[in-house]
Amino acid sequence: MVGVRDPGSLRSHQWYGTDGLRSFSHRARTRQLGYLPEEHLGKPVIAVLNTWSDINPCHVHLRERAQAVKRGVWQAGGFPLEFPVSTLSETFQKPTPMLYRNMLAMETEELLRSYPVDGAVLLGGCDKSTPALLMGAASVDLPAVFVPAGPMLPGHWRDQVLGSGTDMWKYWDDRRAGLIGDAELAELENGLARSPGTCMTMGTASTLTAAAEALGVTMPGASSIPAVDSGHDRMAAASGRRIVGLVHRDLRLSRILTRPAYEDAVATVLALGGSTNAVIHLIAMAGRSGVPLALDDFDRIARTVPVLADLRPGGQYLMEDFHFAGGLPAFLSRLTDVLHLDRPTVAHDSLREQLAGARVHNTEVIRPRSRPLADEGGVAVLRGNLCPDGAVIKHIAAEPHLLRHTGPAVVFDDYRTMQRTINDPGLGITADTVLVLRNAGPKGGPGMPEYGMLPIPDHLLKEGVRDMVRISDARMSGTSYGTCVLHVAPESYVGGPLALVRTGDTISLDVPARSLRLDVPDDELERRRAAWSPPPAKYERGYGALYGEQITQADTGCDFAFLSRPGAVPDPYAG
Ligand code: FES
Ligand code: MG
């Protein structure tokens, strides 16, 4: 049993416990909230940051779940206070919630700093909400526990099991190819997403919540519990109890979020065959933890771990299957030779202790090392004259015959033009063409929208073509698939070489050699560069303008420069 901390050493004591006008006022105002002093004074104040919203189907159950967290906090002798924060709904927020990840990170950081908070429970899970909450909390460096929203139930249509996202793309292509009609589409609308919760494939949400669990900031097994399972309530309450203990031990995020923890999160994401978005987010999160993490770490670690999870979009199964196969503890028990087992987590003194007794219950969903889905981790980092600062490809979600491919480029200057003209027969697009989209990066998009799975022209779909080489400075949804080279850095909008490609140029992709090259002589590229000028900024004022001024490139995590740099920020009572 952990000792109870001297109340005078709690951060919230500065608000409540000192002999002054302010403390008098804060105590009076807490009575106004309906609490007697004996209910809260001297207890750890736990902020429950909730990304619940009516517009966010992935988080719509979190209003109830926050009650379970509070139950746990009360049980352990803490004082819970819920804070509503921005919701980042991957489905509804345009142009992309990525534009707002750093805004939620800022909100998280500033709320935790400016209020009487001793520790935090963070409720999120839809794609960018996980990194945003953890980036903000890491910057304040209080004790914190992350509660993943949990995956939704498996989708169903007739006798088919559906993956949200992944099957949406698939059946939309089937409709464009004339294989299904409006009636089938209406049925699919009923079956794609059957319950609250995050996408139940190994898309971006499940990848990032698994990364959070691997980092050690969730309760063990938390990331795969289905959102509507009563076990999710129990996990939320356990998280509430746990955070109070962490405050008493003053176990801050900086003790958990270390370089070994980030290396393990990278290994986990790669062995899961997870989303390429994790590359950007983990680099940004590590930046806030003061931990150096670079693209090359992903490529290096990828060569040390096989892909062991047979999950869509790369494989067959869904998150509920993964949960009943043993979840992340079982999965990590397959990787103990590459993990750092002596580091602490929020739940245990060491990861070794956390994984003790974990067992795999289904060796098809979580494969043994002797029978991997791929010998190397799921993401490769490419270099070459088209991407001097790197690019990424999820090669396990690509057609193998395209992993070494040379072809002529057809270039689209922006997404709208591409949408309008992709089916134009005059473009002469064949299955060998390399489709290029630019001005879809962090600044140019702006917000690096998930445009990276460029559509295949209708006439090729009808011929049965389902994959082509596609290159962009955009991101790709974690539920997407195909030979899509993403995150090309520097992006075209700031004058990266992608800005200089012309239709008809030859591009060579060689994933085994980790190379992406534009076969145009250097002197010709120099001539093109001299003639190039940047497109005008899209935002002249407001948050978008701030974003454009501050956003960093994909290879460094797309954080804001002023948020990711080191430096002092005074605590409000110390300032
Ligand atoms: Fe929210 Fe996929 S849309 S997790
Ligand atoms: Mg997504």
Q: Report the pLDDT value the prediction gives residue 327, as an integer from 0 to 100.
A: 98
Q: Report the pLDDT value the prediction gives residue 575, as an integer from 0 to 100.
A: 47
Neighbours of 462 (CB within 10 A): 12
pLDDT category, 168, cuts 50, 70, 90? confident
Mean pLDDT of 281-306: 97
Q: Residue whose CA is closest, atom 1 of ligand 1?
A: 126
Asked if residue 169 has pLDDT above 90, the reply is no
Higher pLDDT, 168 or 335: 335
Evaluate: CB of 192 within 6 angstroms of ligand 1: no
Q: Residue whose CA is closest, atom 2 of ligand 1?
A: 199
Evaluate: CB of 271 within 6 angstroms of ligand 1: no
**For the CA of 453, the nearest ligand:** 2
Residue 479 CA: nearest ligand 1 atom is 2
Mean pLDDT of 110-123: 98
Evaluate: CB of 198 within 6 angstroms of ligand 1: yes
Q: Is the pTM of this model over 0.95?
A: yes
ipTM for the predicted complex: 0.92
Q: Which of 401, 446, 437 has its CA nearest to residue 538?
A: 446
pLDDT category, 2, cuts 50, 70, 90? low
Evaluate: CB of 199 within 6 angstroms of ligand 1: yes
Could you write out the three-class secondary structure of 259-303? HHHHHHHHHHHHHCCCCCHHHHHHHHHHHHCCCCCCHHHHHHHHC
- For 352, list phi and psi in degrees, rounded to 5: -55, -45
Q: Encode burial over 545-554: b for 16+ CB neighbours within 10 A, e otherwise.
A: eebbeebbbb
Q: What is the C-alpha separation between 475 and 299, in angstroms, rounded?
A: 18
pLDDT category, 481, cuts 50, 70, 90? confident
Q: Report the pLDDT value the prediction gives residue 302, as an integer from 0 to 100.
A: 96
Evaluate: CB of 277 within 6 angstroms of ligand 1: no
Q: Which helix (H) or strand (E) holds 382?
A: strand 380-382
pLDDT category, 344, cuts 50, 70, 90? very high
Q: Report the pLDDT value the prediction gives residue 480, as an integer from 0 to 100.
A: 80
Tokens of 420: 């309008």
> In 3-state terms, what secondary structure has residue 57?
coil
Contacts of 352 (CB under 8 A, 6+ apart): 336, 341, 342
Task: Measure 191 CA to ligand 2 centroid, in angstroms.
Answer: 18
Burial of residue 18 (CB within 10 Å: 0-12, 13-18, 19+) is middle
Q: Report the pLDDT value the prediction gives residue 574, as an integer from 0 to 100.
A: 66
In this predicted model, what pLDDT tens digit does every residue of 364-417 receive, in sequence order?
999 999 999 999 998 999 999 999 999 999 998 899 999 999 999 999 999 999
Backbone torsion region of residue 482, taken as left when φ is above 0, otherwise alpha when ψ lies between -120 and 50, otherwise beta: left
Task: Measure 531 CA to ligand 1 centroid, in angstroms.
Answer: 42
Task: Measure 172 CA to ligand 2 centroid, in angstroms.
Answer: 16
> In 3-state terms, what secondary structure has residue 366?
strand
> In 3-state terms, what secondary structure has residue 345?
coil
Residue 59 CA: nearest ligand 1 atom is 1
Evaluate: CB of 304 within 6 angstroms of ligand 1: no
Q: Which of 75, 21, 70 has its CA nearest to residue 47?
A: 70
Asked if residue 349 has pLDDT above 60, the reply is yes
Mean pLDDT of 306-327: 95
Asked if residue 479 has pLDDT above 80, the reply is no
In this predicted model, what pLDDT tens digit does every residue of 189-221 receive, in sequence order?
999 999 999 999 999 999 999 999 999 999 999
Evaluate: CB of 126 within 6 angstroms of ligand 1: yes
Asked if residue 1 has pLDDT above 50, the reply is no
Residue among 52, 56, 58 whose CB has most ligand 1 atoms within 8 A, to mutate: 58
Contacts of 510 (CB under 8 A, 6+ apart): 403, 404, 516, 517
Task: Measure 72 CA to ligand 1 centroid, in angstroms.
Answer: 27
Q: What is the C-alpha separation between 505 and 511, in angstroms, rounded?
A: 19
Contacts of 192 (CB under 8 A, 6+ apart): 155, 157, 162, 164, 167, 168
In this predicted model, what pLDDT tens digit does every residue of 553-565 receive, in sequence order?
999 999 999 999 9
Mean pLDDT of 11-37: 95
Q: What is the C-alpha separation between 188 and 170, in angstroms, rounded?
A: 11
State the residue for tokens 């709208």. Answer: 416
Relative orientation angle of helices 166-176 and 182-191, to the nearest 10 degrees: 180
Tokens of 220: 């063990």
Q: Taking the CA atoms of 392, 396, 399 and 405 in sequence, report the sign of the dihedral they define.
A: positive
Q: Report the pLDDT value the prediction gives residue 397, as an integer from 0 to 100.
A: 85
Q: What is the C-alpha separation between 226 and 229, in angstroms, rounded?
A: 5
Mean pLDDT of 285-304: 97
Distance of CA 445 to the CA centre of its chain: 18
Percent of the chain at pLDDT exceeding 90: 92
Evaluate: CB of 450 within 6 angstroms of ligand 1: no
Task: Measure 278 CA to ligand 2 centroid, in angstroms.
Answer: 11
**CA count, 13 A, side-chain hemisphere, 547:** 26
Q: Taking the CA atoms of 321, 324, 325 and 327 in sequence, report the sign of the dihedral they define.
A: positive
Residue among 52, 127, 192, 209 whose CB has most ligand 1 atoms within 8 A, to mutate: 127
Backbone torsion region of residue 526, taken as left when φ is above 0, otherwise alpha when ψ lies between -120 and 50, otherwise beta: alpha
Higher pLDDT, 306 or 4: 306
In this predicted model, what pLDDT tens digit does every residue of 412-440 receive, in sequence order?
999 999 999 999 999 999 999 999 999 99
Q: Please report the DSSP string for 467-484 in residue order.
A: --EEEESS---TT--SSE
Look over the chain and give the mean of its residue pLDDT values, rounded to a whole number: 96
Contacts of 237 (CB under 8 A, 6+ apart): 68, 69, 71, 72, 75
